Amino acid sequence: MDWGLANRMHRMFRPTSRNTVMLAVDHGYFMGPTRRLEDAGATIAPLVPYADALALTRGILRHAVAPTVPTPIVLRVSGGVTVLHDDLSHEALTTSMADAVRLNAAAVAMSVFVGAPHEHESLVNLGNLVDAGEAAGIPVMAITAVGKELEKRDARYLALACRVSAELGAHLVKTYYCDGFSKVVEGCPVPLVVAGGPRLESDRAALELARRAIDEGAHGIDMGRNIWQSDHPVAMLKALRAIVHERATVGEAMDVLASERAPAAAPA
Among residue numbers 22 through 41, which ones bind ligand R5P (CB under 6 A)? 24, 26-27
| Residue 233 lies near ligand R5P (rule: CB under 6 A) | no
Residue 266 is classified by DSSP as P
Distance CA 167, CA 144 (A): 13
| 183 tagged catalytic | no
233-246 and 250-260 helices, crossing angle to 10°: 150
| Residue 239 lies near ligand R5P (rule: CB under 6 A) | no
CB of 130 to ligand R5P, least distance (A): 18
Q: Please say whether the beta carbons of 153 and 146 come within 8 A.
A: yes
Site size toward ligand R5P (CB under 6 A) is 13
Closest CA to 6 of 168, 154, 137: 137
Closest CA to 112 of 65, 162, 187: 162
CB of 265 to ligand R5P, least distance (A): 27
Candidates 39-47, 59-67, 119-127, 191-199; binding stretch for ligand R5P (CB under 6 A): 191-199
Considering beta carbons, is residue 36 or 245 the nearer one to ligand R5P?
36
CB of 73 to ligand R5P, least distance (A): 13
Burial of 103 (0-12, 13-18, 19+ CB in 10 A): middle
Distance CA 37, CA 189 (A): 33
Among residue numbers 65 through 94, which ones bind ligand R5P (CB under 6 A)? none
Closest CA to 235 of 214, 265, 204: 204
| CB count in 10 Å sphere of residue 106 | 23
| Residue 51 lies near ligand R5P (rule: CB under 6 A) | no
CB of 226 to ligand R5P, least distance (A): 6
Considering beta carbons, is residue 196 or 233 the nearer one to ligand R5P?
196
CB of 75 to ligand R5P, least distance (A): 12
Among residue numbers 206 through 225, which ones bind ligand R5P (CB under 6 A)? 222-225
| Residue 203 lies near ligand R5P (rule: CB under 6 A) | no
**What value, to the nearest 5°, has the Cα angle with vertex 60 and ends 56 and 62?**
115
Which residue ranges make up the site for ligand R5P (CB under 6 A)?
Answer: 24, 26-27, 55, 143, 195-197, 222-226
Catalytic residue positions, numbered: 174
